[in-house]
């Protein structure tokens, strides 16, 4: 089991008071199950993730990790608590897959050999070992995502914060990614998943849901809440229904709400 | 990274440095041993130190500024040195040459200190820093021109001559004086290899991996500037080595910063003495400043890089 701290935002505001990107956000994120951050475009999901990572300055309020203010943590304490898979990866600099994963071991003070072995193990766990020596720029979208997940794994952070990890991936790979996230949560880790992919919801029974809209938290529930379709429909401005297929509730979008 | 190509590159650099003292007018007669020991070998040593420092600093700058065009020349270090040297030539016309070097040293450092103070703030984006560096460079250039207008013809001529950059030296004093700051710079930059490797994914991503990005940027900038300032103080500005060599290494080997930094230093240490020897071949009777040769090779290469970059973005 991983010892995973609780992450909280207390009245978190980001951006100028006249045009805040987040206003008065209060969330308490718990490990053990996947947490979904949902909301329409521009709701502030990515901004919240960046603020939880300490990449956005809070104009008021604060983020705490295990009861300590995020700003009081050292860089390596932060990297031990929170790992990030950003939406738009910088695909730079001729690094091979192995080097990308090895770079995620930065917080560990260890000999190069150990870092390399950890990188190969992480690539192995994602089925990406054969890609180890390939430059990242030569890989397909799905392969790159595997490598980036391997890097997240190699960092061994308690929390994984992922911003649209399924973008540009085919459905099979998308579900595979979700399986990795669920396994991390089941092992006691924390997972925050920003996604537009409502199809994933039925794949994540019992996940926590936080719904954002216009920089505010407008709802919180779980994916097995009975009236989930209505609540999400309201947040997205959509008409949604829950339909039972093969014993599993699935969300179906009927169209925009009238 | 291609290991065999890296070996090939190191071999070529070593060969270039080794062949450099033998290029030029034939060594024979009584003076041969003296010319070799007191003129050509110190010149190769000086060129190797300067080439290694400029090239590795350029490679490190390109990573921390997230910009392939970042180098001591484009970020104002060289312009600051020129202003400092000219200030000494104008205000203390009778000063010894070593004082001109000192002026260049502090001119280069003061520009880079200003930039490093900005770089400590992790909130500042890399491209803003590059702009700030360019602005400081232009400012120092304008101040240099203004000072030249005030100066008499002799001081202006001396500053123009100084600005051409040359490895010309007699005896081992210059390389011995340059070695400590240059080696310090090389060592500190090498020690940041892991952080620079993490920084290739962008400052935000590196920060979440545990890199103190503001501190790494400021240190790389300061220690890079220290070595470059010492080089410029010794030889005058030598353009484009810091820009050119890392790109050539990347193109040939395809390496991340961890391998790029040491390889750039080795290639720079071979390239600059060779360029110097070639300038001796081109004009045997006159001492063609090596800065002219590196600039003549570097300017078209820079244009080619720019054209390639545009092509990739389109």
Higher per-residue pLDDT: B1 or A257: A257
- Does residue B302 have a pLDDT over 70? no
More confident residue, B201 or A14: A14
**Chain A contacts to B (CB-CB under 8 A):** 50, 53-55, 57, 75-76, 78-80, 82-84, 86, 89-90, 92-96, 99-100, 102-104, 106-107, 135, 155
Cα torsion B128, B129, B133, B139: sign: positive
Q: Do B212 and A53 touch (CB under 8 A)?
A: no
Q: What pLDDT shows up at residue A141?
A: 85
What confidence score (pLDDT) does residue B123 get?
Answer: 67
CA gap A27, A12 in Å, rounded: 9
Query: What pLDDT is recorded for position A187?
Result: 94
Confidence of residue B313 (pLDDT cuts 50, 70, 90): very low
Res A70 pLDDT > 60: yes
Residue found by looking up tokens 């006691």 in the block: A188
Q: Residue A162: what pLDDT? A: 96
ipTM of the complex: 0.91
Write down the mean pLDDT value for chain B: 86
Strand partners, A220: A210
| Beta strands at A238-245 and A216-222: parallel, antiparallel or unpaired | unpaired
Closest CA to B128 of B118, B139, B117, B114: B118
How far B164 CA sits from the closest chain A CA (Å)?
Answer: 33
Residue A88, pLDDT > 80, answer no
Provide the mean pLDDT of chain A.
91
Chain A residues in contact with B262 (beta carbon < 8 A): none
Please check whether residue B256 touches A, CB under 8 A.
yes
The fraction of chain A above a pLDDT of 90, given in percent, is 64
Does residue B236 or residue A220 have the better pLDDT?
A: A220
Span B74-102, average pLDDT: 84
Q: In this predicted model, which residue has the larger pLDDT, B137 or B73?
A: B137
Percent of chain B with pLDDT over 90: 33
pLDDT of residue A13: 96
- What was the pLDDT predicted at A179? 92
* Number of neighbours of residue A196 by Cβ within 10 angstroms: 15
What is the token pair recorded at B262? Answer: 């040491």
The DSSP bridge pattern shows strands A82-85 and A68-69 to be: unpaired
CA dist B58 and B70 (Å) reads 7
- Residue A212's contacts (CB-CB under 8 Å, 6 or more residues apart) are A25, A37, A38, A39, A43, A44, A45, A48, A218
pLDDT at B104 over 70: yes
How much is the pTM? 0.88
Q: How confident is the model at residue B305 (pLDDT cuts 50, 70, 90)?
A: low
Between B310 and B229, the higher pLDDT residue: B229
Residue of A95, A110, A158 to mutate, interface with B, max B Cβ within 10 Å: A95
- Mean per-residue pLDDT for A138-151? 90
Query: Is B208 an interface residue toward A (CB < 8 Å)?
Result: yes
Alpha-carbon gap: B197 to the closest alpha carbon of chain A (Å): 6
- With CB atoms and an 8 Å threshold, state whether B200 touches A135: no
Partner-chain contact B208 A53, CB within 8 Å: yes
SS3 content of chain A, % helix, strand, coil (to 5): 35, 30, 35
Distances in Å between the alpha carbon of A28 and those of A21, A31, A208, A215? 19, 10, 11, 16
Give the pLDDT of residue A79: 96
Placement of tokens 């709802």 in the chain: A219
pLDDT at B201: 86
pLDDT grade, residue B314 (50/70/90)?
A: very low
Asked if B87 contacts B145 with a C-beta cutoff of 8 angstroms, the reply is no
When pLDDT is averaged across residues B291-298 and rounded to a whole number, the result is: 78
Both tokens of residue B85? 């040297």
Identify which of B194, B210, B250 has the shortest CB distance to residue A75: B210
Tell me: the pLDDT tens digits for B143-198? Answer: 988 988 888 888 888 888 888 888 888 889 999 999 999 999 999 999 999 999 99
B204 and A103 within 8 Å at the Cβ level: the answer is no
Q: Are B167 and B276 in contact (CB under 8 A)?
A: yes
C-alpha torsion sign, points A133, B199, A34, A172: negative
| Rounded distance between C-alpha atoms, residue A257 and residue A229, angstroms | 12
Q: Mind listing the pLDDT tens digit for each residue in B203-228?
A: 899 999 999 998 998 899 889 988 99
Query: Alpha helices, DSSP H only, in chain A?
Result: 45-52, 75-81, 97-103, 112-125, 141-155, 171-186, 228-236
Strand order in A34-38's β-sheet? Answer: A82-85, A159-163, A190-194, A34-38, A208-213, A216-222
The residue length of chain A stands at 258
pLDDT-derived band at A31 (thresholds 50, 70, 90) equals: very high
Per-residue pLDDT tens digits for A162-213: 999 888 788 888 888 899 999 999 999 999 999 988 888 888 988 999 999 9
Q: Answer yes or no: is pLDDT of B6 > 70.
A: yes
Give the pLDDT score at B59: 95
Q: Which of residues 137-196 of B touch A (CB under 8 A)?
A: 194-195
Sign of CA dihedral A129, A131, A132, A136: negative
CATH number for B3-21+33-309 (one of 1.10.3470.10, 1.10.3720.10, 1.10.287.1060, 1.10.3210.10): it is: 1.10.3470.10
């Amino acid at each position: 089991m991983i010892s995973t701290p609780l992450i909280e935002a207390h009245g978190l505001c980001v951006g100028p008071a006249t045009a805040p990107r987040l206003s008065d956000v209060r969330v308490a994120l718990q490990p053990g199950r996947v947490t979904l951050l949902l909301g329409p475009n521009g709701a502030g999901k990515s901004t919240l993730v960046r603020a939880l990572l300490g990449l956005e300055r809070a104009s008021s309020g604060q983020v705490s990790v295990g009861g300590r203010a995020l700003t009081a943590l050292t860089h390596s304490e932060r990297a031990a608590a929170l790992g990030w898979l950003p939406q738009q990866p910088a695909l730079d600099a001729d690094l091979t897959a192995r080097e990308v994963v090895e770079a995620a071991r930065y917080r560990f003070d260890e000999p190069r050999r150990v870092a390399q072995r950890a990188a190969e193990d992480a690539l192995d766990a994602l089925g990406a070992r054969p890609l180890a020596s390939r430059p990242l720029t030569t890989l397909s979208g799905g392969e790159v995502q595997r490598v980036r997940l391997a890097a997240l794994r190699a960092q061994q952070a308690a929390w994984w914060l992922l911003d649209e990890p399924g973008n540009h991936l085919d459905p099979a790979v998308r579900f595979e990614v979700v399986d990795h996230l669920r396994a991390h949560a089941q092992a006691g880790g924390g997972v925050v998943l920003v996604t537009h992919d409502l199809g994933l919801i039925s794949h994540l029974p019992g996940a926590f849901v936080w719904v954002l809209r216009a920089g505010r938290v407008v709802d919180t529930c779980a994916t097995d809440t009975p009236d989930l379709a209505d609540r999400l429909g309201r947040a997205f401005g959509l008409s949604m229904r829950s339909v039972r297929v093969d014993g599993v509730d699935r969300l179906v979008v009927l169209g925009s709400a009238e | 990274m291609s290991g065999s190509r890296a070996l090939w590159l190191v071999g070529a650099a070593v060969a270039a440095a080794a062949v450099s003292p033998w290029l030029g007018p034939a060594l024979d007669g009584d003076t041969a041993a003296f010319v070799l020991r007191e003129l050509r070998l110190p010149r190769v040593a000086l060129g190797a130190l300067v080439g290694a420092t400029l090239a590795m600093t350029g490679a490190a700058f390109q990573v921390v500024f997230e910009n392939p065009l970042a180098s001591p020349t484009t970020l104002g270090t060289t312009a600051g040195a020129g202003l400092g040297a000219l200030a000494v030539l104008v205000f203390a016309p009778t000063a010894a040459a070593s004082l001109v070097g000192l002026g260049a040293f502090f001119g280069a450092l003061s520009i880079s200190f200003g930039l490093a103070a900005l770089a400590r703030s992790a909130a500042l984006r890399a491209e803003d820093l590059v702009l700030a560096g360019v602005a400081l460079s232009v400012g120092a250039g304008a101040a240099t021109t203004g000072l030249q207008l005030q100066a008499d013809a002799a001081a202006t001529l001396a500053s123009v001559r100084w600005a051409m950059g040359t490895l010309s030296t007699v005896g081992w004093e210059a390389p011995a004086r340059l070695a400590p700051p240059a080696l310090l710079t090389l060592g500190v930059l090498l020690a940041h290899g892991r952080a620079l490797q993490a920084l290739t994914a962008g400052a935000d991503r590196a920060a979440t991996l545990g890199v103190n990005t503001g501190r790494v940027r400021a240190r790389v900038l300061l220690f890079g500037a220290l070595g470059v300032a010492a080089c410029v103080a010794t030889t005058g500005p030598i353009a484009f080595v810091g820009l050119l060599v890392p790109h050539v290494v990347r193109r040939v080997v395809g390496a991340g910063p961890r391998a790029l930094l040491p390889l750039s230093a080795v290639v720079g240490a071979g390239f600059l003495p060779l360029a110097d020897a070639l300038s001796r071949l081109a004009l045997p009777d006159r001492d063609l400043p090596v800065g002219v040769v590196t600039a003549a090779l570097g300017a078209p290469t820079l244009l080619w890089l720019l054209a390639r970059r545009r092509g990739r973005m389109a």
